[in-house]
Amino acid sequence: MSDTSNTDTVAQDIDAETGDTVDEPDDDSGPAIAIYAQWAVFAILTLVALIATLQFYFSASSAIDTFVTDRYRPLFNAAFNLTVVLACGLGLSVLVRRLA
List pLDDT tens digits, range 39-88.
899 999 999 999 999 999 999 999 999 999 999 999 999 999 999 999 99
> Please, what is the Cα angle at 25 between 20 and 28, to 5 degrees?
125
Residues 56 and 66: their CA atoms lie apart, in Å, by 15
* 34-38: average pLDDT: 90
Which one-letter amino acid corresponds to residue 5? S
Listed residue (95, 93, 94, 67) closest to 80, CA to CA: 67
**pTM of the predicted structure, to 2 decimals:** 0.60
> In Å, how far are 4, 43, 60, 67, 96 from 63, measured between CA atoms?
84, 30, 5, 6, 33
Give the rounded percent of residues in the chain with a pLDDT score beyond 70: 72
Residue 77 makes CB contacts below 8 A (sequence gap 6+) with 61, 64
Task: Judge whether residue 24 has pLDDT over 60.
Answer: no
The alpha carbon dihedral of 43, 45, 47, 49 has a sign of negative
